[in-house]
Protein backbone atom coordinates (compact mmCIF):
# COMPACT_ATOMS: atom_id res chain seq x y z
CA UNK A 1 0.00 0.00 0.00
CA UNK A 2 1.36 3.41 -1.02
CA UNK A 3 1.37 5.81 1.99
CA UNK A 4 2.11 8.91 -0.08
CA UNK A 5 -0.48 11.67 0.44
CA UNK A 6 -0.58 11.94 -3.36
CA UNK A 7 -1.61 8.31 -3.83
CA UNK A 8 -5.10 7.57 -5.18
CA UNK A 9 -4.96 3.90 -4.29
CA UNK A 10 -8.37 2.50 -3.38
CA UNK A 11 -10.23 5.53 -4.77
CA UNK A 12 -12.94 5.26 -7.42
CA UNK A 13 -12.94 8.25 -9.77
CA UNK A 14 -15.29 9.17 -12.64
CA UNK A 15 -13.59 10.89 -15.60
CA UNK A 16 -15.83 12.52 -18.23
CA UNK A 17 -14.28 13.19 -21.62
CA UNK A 18 -12.12 10.09 -21.13
CA UNK A 19 -12.33 9.19 -24.83
CA UNK A 20 -10.05 11.99 -26.02
CA UNK A 21 -7.38 14.60 -25.37
CA UNK A 22 -6.89 15.83 -21.83
CA UNK A 23 -9.46 13.42 -20.33
CA UNK A 24 -7.64 10.44 -21.85
CA UNK A 25 -4.30 11.56 -20.41
CA UNK A 26 -5.91 12.34 -17.03
CA UNK A 27 -7.22 8.74 -17.04
CA UNK A 28 -3.73 7.35 -17.70
CA UNK A 29 -2.12 9.42 -14.94
CA UNK A 30 -4.90 8.63 -12.42
CA UNK A 31 -4.50 4.94 -13.23
CA UNK A 32 -0.75 5.25 -12.54
CA UNK A 33 -1.61 6.96 -9.25
CA UNK A 34 -3.64 3.94 -8.15
CA UNK A 35 -7.25 4.94 -8.85
CA UNK A 36 -9.95 2.69 -10.25
CA UNK A 37 -11.70 4.62 -13.00
CA UNK A 38 -15.08 5.04 -14.63
CA UNK A 39 -14.31 6.29 -18.13
CA UNK A 40 -17.20 8.28 -19.59
CA UNK A 41 -17.75 9.40 -23.18
CA UNK A 42 -19.99 8.80 -26.21
CA UNK A 43 -17.47 7.16 -28.53
CA UNK A 44 -17.08 3.48 -27.56
CA UNK A 45 -14.11 2.87 -29.87
CA UNK A 46 -12.13 5.79 -28.42
CA UNK A 47 -13.13 4.94 -24.83
CA UNK A 48 -11.91 1.39 -25.43
CA UNK A 49 -8.56 2.76 -26.64
CA UNK A 50 -8.25 4.65 -23.36
CA UNK A 51 -9.20 1.54 -21.38
CA UNK A 52 -6.64 -0.59 -23.23
CA UNK A 53 -3.87 1.85 -22.28
CA UNK A 54 -4.58 1.32 -18.56
CA UNK A 55 -3.69 -1.35 -16.01
CA UNK A 56 -6.50 -3.89 -16.47
CA UNK A 57 -6.09 -5.33 -12.95
CA UNK A 58 -7.89 -2.33 -11.47
CA UNK A 59 -11.19 -3.30 -13.13
CA UNK A 60 -11.81 0.10 -14.68
CA UNK A 61 -15.31 0.56 -16.08
CA UNK A 62 -16.68 2.18 -19.25
CA UNK A 63 -19.72 4.47 -19.20
CA UNK A 64 -21.22 5.32 -22.57
CA UNK A 65 -23.33 8.37 -21.91
CA UNK A 66 -24.33 11.59 -23.68
CA UNK A 67 -24.01 14.40 -21.15
CA UNK A 68 -26.41 16.61 -23.05
CA UNK A 69 -29.17 14.51 -21.41
CA UNK A 70 -28.87 16.49 -18.19
CA UNK A 71 -32.04 15.09 -16.68
CA UNK A 72 -30.84 11.50 -17.17
CA UNK A 73 -27.63 12.00 -15.16
CA UNK A 74 -29.09 11.12 -11.74
CA UNK A 75 -30.79 8.05 -13.19
CA UNK A 76 -27.51 6.98 -14.82
CA UNK A 77 -25.65 7.47 -11.52
CA UNK A 78 -28.24 5.41 -9.66
CA UNK A 79 -28.23 2.51 -12.14
CA UNK A 80 -24.45 2.47 -12.71
CA UNK A 81 -23.38 2.54 -9.08
CA UNK A 82 -26.01 -0.09 -8.17
CA UNK A 83 -25.06 -2.39 -11.06
CA UNK A 84 -21.34 -2.31 -10.18
CA UNK A 85 -21.76 -2.00 -6.37
CA UNK A 86 -19.50 1.05 -6.20
CA UNK A 87 -19.37 4.44 -4.51
CA UNK A 88 -17.42 7.28 -6.07
CA UNK A 89 -14.60 9.07 -4.23
CA UNK A 90 -14.26 11.78 -6.83
CA UNK A 91 -14.96 12.99 -10.34
CA UNK A 92 -13.20 15.00 -13.02
CA UNK A 93 -15.43 16.79 -15.52
CA UNK A 94 -13.14 17.04 -18.54
CA UNK A 95 -15.83 16.67 -21.25
CA UNK A 96 -16.14 19.90 -23.14
CA UNK A 97 -16.93 21.46 -26.50
CA UNK A 98 -15.95 24.70 -28.14
CA UNK A 99 -16.67 26.54 -31.41
CA UNK A 100 -14.68 29.51 -32.61
CA UNK A 101 -17.33 31.90 -33.94
CA UNK A 102 -17.52 35.70 -34.00
CA UNK A 103 -20.24 37.16 -31.78
CA UNK A 104 -21.93 38.63 -34.87
CA UNK A 105 -22.80 35.17 -36.30
CA UNK A 106 -22.79 33.02 -33.17
CA UNK A 107 -26.28 31.51 -32.93
CA UNK A 108 -27.76 31.95 -29.45
CA UNK A 109 -28.39 28.18 -29.34
CA UNK A 110 -24.62 27.60 -29.45
CA UNK A 111 -24.41 29.32 -26.07
CA UNK A 112 -26.91 26.87 -24.61
CA UNK A 113 -25.14 23.87 -26.17
CA UNK A 114 -21.68 24.84 -24.88
CA UNK A 115 -22.87 25.86 -21.43
CA UNK A 116 -24.88 22.63 -21.21
CA UNK A 117 -21.87 20.32 -21.69
CA UNK A 118 -19.05 22.39 -20.21
CA UNK A 119 -20.89 23.68 -17.14
CA UNK A 120 -24.37 22.27 -16.46
CA UNK A 121 -23.43 18.61 -17.04
CA UNK A 122 -20.68 18.94 -14.43
CA UNK A 123 -23.10 20.56 -12.02
CA UNK A 124 -25.64 17.75 -12.56
CA UNK A 125 -22.96 15.12 -11.90
CA UNK A 126 -21.88 16.90 -8.75
CA UNK A 127 -25.51 17.14 -7.60
CA UNK A 128 -26.00 13.42 -8.12
CA UNK A 129 -22.89 12.71 -6.01
CA UNK A 130 -24.52 14.43 -3.05
CA UNK A 131 -26.57 11.28 -2.54
CA UNK A 132 -24.51 9.17 -0.13
CA UNK A 133 -25.67 6.00 -1.91
CA UNK A 134 -23.59 7.00 -4.95
CA UNK A 135 -20.52 8.76 -3.53
CA UNK A 136 -18.58 9.00 -0.28
CA UNK A 137 -19.54 12.20 1.50
CA UNK A 138 -15.96 13.56 1.46
CA UNK A 139 -15.62 13.37 -2.32
CA UNK A 140 -13.41 15.65 -4.41
CA UNK A 141 -14.92 17.11 -7.59
CA UNK A 142 -12.81 18.81 -10.26
CA UNK A 143 -14.02 20.82 -13.24
CA UNK A 144 -11.61 21.33 -16.13
CA UNK A 145 -12.11 25.03 -16.76
CA UNK A 146 -9.83 27.20 -18.95
CA UNK A 147 -7.86 30.41 -18.76
CA UNK A 148 -10.66 31.70 -21.01
CA UNK A 149 -12.86 31.74 -17.92
CA UNK A 150 -10.87 34.69 -16.61
CA UNK A 151 -9.31 36.41 -19.64
CA UNK A 152 -10.69 37.12 -23.10
CA UNK A 153 -10.00 36.11 -26.70
CA UNK A 154 -12.05 37.05 -29.78
CA UNK A 155 -14.38 34.38 -31.19
CA UNK A 156 -14.91 32.29 -28.08
CA UNK A 157 -17.55 34.19 -26.11
CA UNK A 158 -19.76 31.14 -25.47
CA UNK A 159 -16.83 28.97 -24.38
CA UNK A 160 -15.46 31.74 -22.16
CA UNK A 161 -18.89 32.20 -20.55
CA UNK A 162 -19.13 28.45 -19.81
CA UNK A 163 -15.70 28.45 -18.12
CA UNK A 164 -16.38 31.69 -16.24
CA UNK A 165 -19.52 30.02 -14.86
CA UNK A 166 -17.37 27.16 -13.54
CA UNK A 167 -14.90 29.54 -11.89
CA UNK A 168 -17.59 31.31 -9.89
CA UNK A 169 -19.63 28.16 -9.22
CA UNK A 170 -16.81 26.32 -7.44
CA UNK A 171 -16.56 28.98 -4.73
CA UNK A 172 -20.20 28.83 -3.64
CA UNK A 173 -20.37 25.06 -4.04
CA UNK A 174 -17.23 24.72 -1.90
CA UNK A 175 -18.83 26.72 0.90
CA UNK A 176 -22.03 24.72 0.72
CA UNK A 177 -20.26 21.36 0.81
CA UNK A 178 -17.48 22.15 3.30
CA UNK A 179 -19.52 20.96 6.34
CA UNK A 180 -19.44 17.42 4.94
CA UNK A 181 -15.76 17.87 3.90
CA UNK A 182 -16.53 17.41 0.21
CA UNK A 183 -14.27 19.59 -1.98
CA UNK A 184 -14.99 21.34 -5.28
CA UNK A 185 -12.17 22.82 -7.36
CA UNK A 186 -11.34 23.69 -10.95
CA UNK A 187 -8.20 23.62 -13.06
CA UNK A 188 -7.78 26.34 -15.67
CA UNK A 189 -5.35 25.22 -18.38
CA UNK A 190 -3.82 27.45 -21.00
CA UNK A 191 -3.37 26.08 -24.50
CA UNK A 192 -2.37 22.41 -24.39
CA UNK A 193 -1.88 19.95 -27.21
CA UNK A 194 -5.09 17.92 -27.76
CA UNK A 195 -7.72 17.14 -30.40
CA UNK A 196 -9.68 20.24 -29.32
CA UNK A 197 -6.70 22.58 -29.64
CA UNK A 198 -5.72 20.97 -32.98
CA UNK A 199 -9.21 21.81 -34.33
CA UNK A 200 -8.88 25.38 -33.10
CA UNK A 201 -5.35 25.78 -34.45
CA UNK A 202 -6.44 24.62 -37.91
CA UNK A 203 -8.91 27.51 -38.14
CA UNK A 204 -6.32 30.17 -37.27
CA UNK A 205 -3.94 32.08 -39.51
CA UNK A 206 -0.19 31.64 -39.10
CA UNK A 207 -0.05 35.05 -37.44
CA UNK A 208 -2.79 34.12 -34.92
CA UNK A 209 -1.00 30.85 -34.09
CA UNK A 210 2.27 32.67 -33.49
CA UNK A 211 0.48 35.09 -31.17
CA UNK A 212 -1.06 32.27 -29.08
CA UNK A 213 2.29 30.51 -28.70
CA UNK A 214 3.99 33.79 -27.75
CA UNK A 215 1.40 34.35 -25.01
CA UNK A 216 2.67 31.24 -23.15
CA UNK A 217 6.04 32.22 -21.61
CA UNK A 218 6.81 28.54 -20.86
CA UNK A 219 5.53 27.43 -24.29
CA UNK A 220 2.42 25.37 -25.13
CA UNK A 221 1.56 22.80 -22.45
CA UNK A 222 0.85 19.10 -22.47
CA UNK A 223 -2.17 17.22 -21.16
CA UNK A 224 0.13 15.66 -18.54
CA UNK A 225 0.72 19.15 -17.08
CA UNK A 226 -3.03 19.33 -16.40
CA UNK A 227 -3.30 15.72 -15.23
CA UNK A 228 -0.70 16.14 -12.46
CA UNK A 229 -2.80 18.98 -11.04
CA UNK A 230 -5.82 16.68 -11.10
CA UNK A 231 -3.97 14.00 -9.11
CA UNK A 232 -3.04 16.60 -6.52
CA UNK A 233 -6.56 18.00 -6.10
CA UNK A 234 -8.09 14.51 -5.85
CA UNK A 235 -5.54 13.35 -3.29
CA UNK A 236 -5.29 13.67 0.49
CA UNK A 237 -2.43 16.14 -0.09
CA UNK A 238 -5.12 18.68 -1.09
CA UNK A 239 -7.55 17.95 1.75
CA UNK A 240 -7.48 21.61 2.84
CA UNK A 241 -8.07 22.98 -0.66
CA UNK A 242 -11.55 23.81 -1.89
CA UNK A 243 -13.17 26.53 -4.02
CA UNK A 244 -9.97 27.21 -5.95
CA UNK A 245 -9.26 27.56 -9.64
CA UNK A 246 -5.75 26.18 -10.13
CA UNK A 247 -4.17 27.93 -13.12
CA UNK A 248 -1.95 25.61 -15.20
CA UNK A 249 -1.04 27.82 -18.13
CA UNK A 250 2.73 28.22 -18.62
CA UNK A 251 2.37 31.85 -17.55
CA UNK A 252 -0.40 32.81 -20.03
CA UNK A 253 -2.33 34.87 -17.48
CA UNK A 254 0.78 36.64 -16.11
CA UNK A 255 0.60 39.22 -18.92
> What residues make contact with ligand NAP under the rule CB under 6 A?
16-17, 19-23, 41-43, 46, 66-68, 94-98, 117-118, 144, 146, 189, 191-192, 194-197
Shortest Å distance, C-beta 199 to ligand NAP = 7
Nearer to ligand NAP, 66 or 79 (CB): 66
Instruction: Give which of 153, 148, 160, 159 is closest to 204, Cα–Cα.
Output: 153
Nearer to ligand NAP, 35 or 117 (CB): 117
Nearer to ligand NAP, 44 or 175 (CB): 44
Residues with catalytic roles: 159
Instruction: Give which of 222, 229, 223, 249 is closest to 151, Cα–Cα.
Output: 249
Other C-beta atoms closer than 10 Å to the C-beta of 11 total: 21
Nearer to ligand NAP, 98 or 242 (CB): 98
Shortest Å distance, C-beta 144 to ligand NAP = 4
Q: How far apart are CA 26 and CA 234, in angstroms?
A: 12
Shortest Å distance, C-beta 7 to ligand NAP = 25
Beta strands (DSSP E) in the chain are: 12-16, 36-41, 61-64, 88-93, 135-144, 183-189, 245-248
Shortest Å distance, C-beta 108 to ligand NAP = 19
Instruction: Give which of 246, 241, 244, 231 is closest to 6, Cα–Cα.
Output: 231
Amino acid sequence: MDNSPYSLEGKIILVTGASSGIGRVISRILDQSGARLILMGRNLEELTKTLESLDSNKEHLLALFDLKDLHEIKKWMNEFTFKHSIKLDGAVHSAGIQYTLPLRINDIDHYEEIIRINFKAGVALLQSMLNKKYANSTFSFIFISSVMGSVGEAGITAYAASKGAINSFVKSAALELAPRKARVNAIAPGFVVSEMSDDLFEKLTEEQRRKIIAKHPLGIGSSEDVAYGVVYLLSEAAKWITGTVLTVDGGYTCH
